Amino acid sequence: MYASTAGAPAPGADLAVADLGRPVDPPRRQLGRGVLALWRPGQWPKNVLVVSIPLIDLTGWNLAVLWRVFLAVVAFTVASTVVYAVNDIADRERDRNHPTKRLRAVASGWVPVPVAAACAVAQAGLLAAILATRPAVWCLPILGYLVLSVAYSLKLKHLPILDVFAIATGFVLRLQMGYLATGGAASGWLLVSVFSLCLLLTLGKRRHELSAFGAAHRPALRGYTVELADRLMMLSGVLTAVAYLLYLRLEAPLGSYAGPAMLASTPFALFGLFRYLQVVEVDRGGEDPVRTLVRDRAMVVNSALWLLQAAAFLVAAHGVG
């Protein structure tokens, strides 16, 4: 549900962008690239990551499980492209008056409104075709996400606090889809951890928007201040760390290794949270949370080491069990 465009190809890289409030008229030969930008492939990694998280709760993987998880990732990715297209059509006038959002595919004129609408319909048809091959229960997280996204576009994104809660809930629905795909029981502490982490990342985005552009372009920002965003981020960060460590200690499939895994993960968890806060508050970053997570070198190295030690504990626990 993120509406960021920092990770998507920007029309401005190839086209002369008009003044704020006025669309451009790009060459038709670039329409294909514009459609790809409309779908925001830079945002797809979050579907891969969040939907796949429940794989760590399984004691054994097989091709059937991996295939179901792959289809779940594809389904949520297609659903998100529908939301992006509809959102860009609805917000095109407001986006044209924003320093960076004016470069979005529809607002810039790179993709005409009828083409964007046709893309949304086509992607909705593809989503329906995918879900038709899966159990009916798979429709619930997707429909919940689509309904939530519509509510967000129409109203919730203008309401302070509720706007970030709506976005975080979208990620919880992704996680639930992952559990449906694996057939495992959802972990309560992991759900809380993902929810609070998404609150943190979204609040970081709001803080960046507020400090960089002011509150004029997004009505919900009038209900925030930089100081309030900092405090809410701190609360969300604390809850994220505590919930994740409790998940490792109480619910992760680690057996007798749960305690050591929790202790070993603590430095990595805290460093990741500290670094993100540093990026947002000191480096004035955070405009695109996905871009920050996958391109910041310190976070990438920390995540890689964290993943290696987590994998080592999983292998040890399953090998002993």
* pLDDT tens figures, 45-68: 888 888 888 888 776 778 999 999
Are 267 and 120 within one domain? no
Are 17 and 162 within one domain? yes
Mean pLDDT of 24-51: 77
Are 34 and 156 within one domain? yes
Q: How far is CA 97 from CA 10, 59, 94, 193, 196, in A?
A: 16, 51, 6, 36, 31
Which region among 7-21, 55-69, 70-84, 99-113 has the lowest average model confidence (pLDDT)?
Answer: 7-21
The parent domain of residue 268 ranges over 187-321
pLDDT at 7: 38
**Of 184, 206, 225, which residue is a domain's last?**
184
Question: For the chain, what is the domain count?
Answer: 2
Q: Could you report the per-residue pLDDT of 118-176, keeping only the tens digit for each?
A: 999 999 999 999 999 999 999 999 999 999 999 998 899 999 999 999 999 999 999 99
**By the 8 A CB rule, do 203 and 227 touch?**
no
Are 218 and 229 within one domain? yes
Are 123 and 200 within one domain? no
**Of 162, 184, 206, which residue is a domain's last?**
184
Are 201 and 120 within one domain? no
Q: Could you report the per-residue pLDDT of 215-268, keeping only the tens digit for each?
A: 777 889 999 999 999 999 999 999 999 999 999 999 998 989 999 999 999 999
pLDDT at 50: 87
Q: Could you report the per-residue pLDDT of 307-317, keeping only the tens digit for each?
A: 999 989 988 88
Are 42 and 124 within one domain? yes
Q: Could you report the per-residue pLDDT of 254-309, keeping only the tens digit for each?
A: 989 999 999 999 999 999 999 999 999 999 888 888 888 888 999 999 999 999 99
**By the 8 A CB rule, do 103 and 5 touch?**
yes
45: Cβ–Cβ under 8 A, 6 or more apart, which residues?
290, 294
Are 128 and 205 within one domain? no
Burial degree of 46 (CB within 10 A; 0-12, 13-18, 19+): buried
pLDDT at 286: 84
pLDDT at 22: 52
Are 69 and 170 within one domain? yes
Are 153 and 297 within one domain? no
pLDDT at 151: 93
Are 168 and 223 within one domain? no
pLDDT at 14: 40
CATH number for the domain spanning 13: value is 1.10.357.140
Chain-centroid distance of CA 242 in Å reads: 21
Rounded CA-CA distance 91/320 in Å is 55
Are 254 and 133 within one domain? no
pLDDT at 291: 83
